[in-house]
Every structure is written in C-alpha cells, then in structure tokens.
Structure 1
Amino acid sequence: MPNVVGLNHQLAQDTMQAAGFYYLTEADATGQGRLLINDRNWVVVSQQPAGGTHAPADTKIILRSKKVGE
C-alpha cells in the first residue's frame, strides 16, 4: 500500500491506481461533507489502510483530504 499522505488528491489517486488499487473512496477530512470537485486543490491528510501495510488489490481505500491551505 503506497503512502499518499501529503500528496494532492489527484496524484494520490494516480499513485494508488498505478500500484493496482482501484477501489478508492474520498472524504472531506474537515467533516463539512464537501465534494472534491477539483482534486488538485485538495491534499490527502489521512488514508485507510495506512501506507506501508499489505492489502489485497480489492481493498476499499479511503482518502481523507482537505483543501490546500486549510
């Protein structure tokens, strides 16, 4: 499992897909429930499962992000 914390959301998704993980979900890390419309304006602050762990390719991955500058 790649560690994508700190990457912009688009690059994080691209990195996960390049590693063979396609079951990706996203969430607003601030709890405001906003939609991530322009992924490049968001940065990943946490992921589940954590980077560096082993997981099968069909694992559901949650990327929690907040807008750049928040």
Structure 2
Amino acid sequence: MKPARRFEWHVWGWPIVAGFASLAGLLCALVGDGAWDIASWLLLGGLTIVSAGFGLGFFARRVQHRR
C-alpha cells in the first residue's frame, strides 16, 4: 500500500491565494459601486503588480550554485 501524499502548500499555496483574490476582485466589480469598485481595483491591481514583478524578475530568488 502506498503512503498518502501530502498536499504541497509550498508549491500550490500562493496560486490558490491568487485565484481566490482574483475571484473576489471580479465579484466585487460585479456586485456594486463605490467601495466595491475600490476593493476590486485593489484586489485585481495588486495581482497585476505582483504578476508583473515576478515576470520581470523583481522577486526572483538569487541562487548561488555550488561548485
């Protein structure tokens, strides 16, 4: 019998958080006006900034290779 595999939060944690944040931002944009619009801008804009930062390498880990 194979041992049960544990869920790998270090791999899937932040993508799940980003998915829920984008879902919340889209729902805020659809639900109402005023404060709802501000919440949607913050959620979706924050995700855009973080994604662009990763794409441009601002959050890249500096790995030193051993020789």
TM-score of Structure 1 vs Structure 2, range by shorter chain: under 0.3
Q: Which has the higher helix share?
A: 2
Q: Which has the higher strand share?
A: 1
Query: Whose radius of gyration is greater, 1 or 2?
Result: 2
Structure of higher RCO (CA pairs closer than 8 Å, 6+ residues apart): 1
What TM-score do the two structures reach when normalised by structure 2? 0.27
